[in-house]
Amino acid sequence: MLFLKEQSLMIRNGKEFNERIVQRYTAIYSWSFKSASKSKYVSKLSQVHSILT
């Protein structure tokens, strides 16, 4: 029951809650992308792409 109460609270504050999460993850993602070497990221991406196609 406590979980359901928390869920409804999160839904009520959903917009604000989601925006906060998005901002946090965007910050983390951009930081990790900058800190990681771009060439390594690109090679990984091309590997994944070659596997998918």
More confident residue, 24 or 2: 24
Spatial CB neighbours of 17, under 8 Å, sequence gap ≥ 6: 10
Residue 49 pLDDT: 76
pLDDT at 9: 66
Q: Tell whether the torsion through CA atoms of 15, 16, 17 and 23 is positive or negative.
A: positive
Q: Give pLDDT, residue 11.
A: 65
Q: What is the pTM of this model?
A: 0.33
When pLDDT is averaged across residues 17-43 and rounded to a whole number, the result is 75
- Residue 36's domain spans which residues? 2-52
Q: Each residue of 6-33: b (16+ CB within 10 Å) or e?
A: eeeeeeeeeeeeeeeeeeeeeeeeeeee
- Give the count of domains, the chain: 1
Span 36-44, average pLDDT: 69
